[in-house]
Amino acid sequence: MAESYKHRAVPALDVFKPDIFKDKVVFVTGGGSGICYAVTETLMRLGAKAAIVGRNAERLRGAADSLSKATQSQAIATPADVRKIETLQHAVKQTIEQFGKIDFVICGAAGNFMAPIEGLSPNAFRTVVEIDLLGTFNTVRATMEEVKKSHGNYLHISATLHYSGLPWQAAPSAAKAGVDALSAALAVELGPYGVRSNCIAPGLIAGTEGADRLVPQGQDEMVLGFMPMQRIGQKDDIANAAVYLFSEAASWITGQILVVDGGSVHFRGPFLPYPDSVLDTKSFKSLFPGSKM
């Protein structure tokens, strides 16, 4: 039998012009860790300056220092809670005082955990929706006037969870579906101002909290069986997609959702045994240590 072929993840600097984002400023919620940290680092290596947003001020300052040292560009920490628009407005004010403008906005703050609906409290559901969906709306409202001035871009980090009825993912599925709809409305309303709005929907990305939570323990090989490209995604895969969507090469692309998942969206199905995982939820709790019951 022939062996499967695996494309490698390619760093952005191997493909894109080094100063493609010279003098650009990016405002990033969730920029202190995970996918958004990696995207921010890539944009900075390509010339951008960054303001990263998160709730933990000390951790955020450490992340900003690391980004600045790694890229020879400048990142600042602008602490805020995306659920509270006044804190985002303050973060925007700090960004303008430091850099004078905002060209790009990445709405990447997110919350997620595994839980069947019967184990999902109203407060837990509300928390995920407030971080993912309300947080995206608040970020847009806080930055909108500055992005209109720069004829800039919004990029929302979405997901593929809601493309089917995925067990144990009701809250983030509902929230990300709302993010997709909000991005489309934003594209229509702000298009005449020269502003674009798009989503990236990542698949499973190695080294992220999302992958740690969503993959059942000991089931890595099973998960690969759902991926036509035969590998788990890397943060570089998402960063490269972001570079393209922010670049002038995508100047006629708005209101779209770019799925970056190695083709696994075409093998939609739960990573849990079905229907056993919904008929006897407690039997599968051990596969997801952080799940709610």
DSSP code, position 169: B
Is 286 an annotated catalytic residue? no
Catalytic entry in 24, 49, 73, 158: 158
Q: How far is CA 60 from CA 30, 42, 54, 276, in A?
A: 9, 17, 6, 41
User: Residues of 19-49 as b/e, b for ≥16 C-beta within 10 angstroms?
Assistant: ebbeebbbbbbbbbbbbbbbbbbbbbbbbbb
User: How many secondary structure helices (H) and strands (E) does the chain include?
Assistant: 10, 7
Q: HSE on the CB side for 211, CA within 13 Å? A: 19
Omega before 275 cis (within 30°)?
Answer: yes
Residue 28: its H or E element? strand 25-29
Catalytic entry in 24, 49, 176, 235: 176
Is 158 an annotated catalytic residue? yes
> Is residue 103 helix, strand or coil?
coil
What residues are annotated to the active site? 158, 176
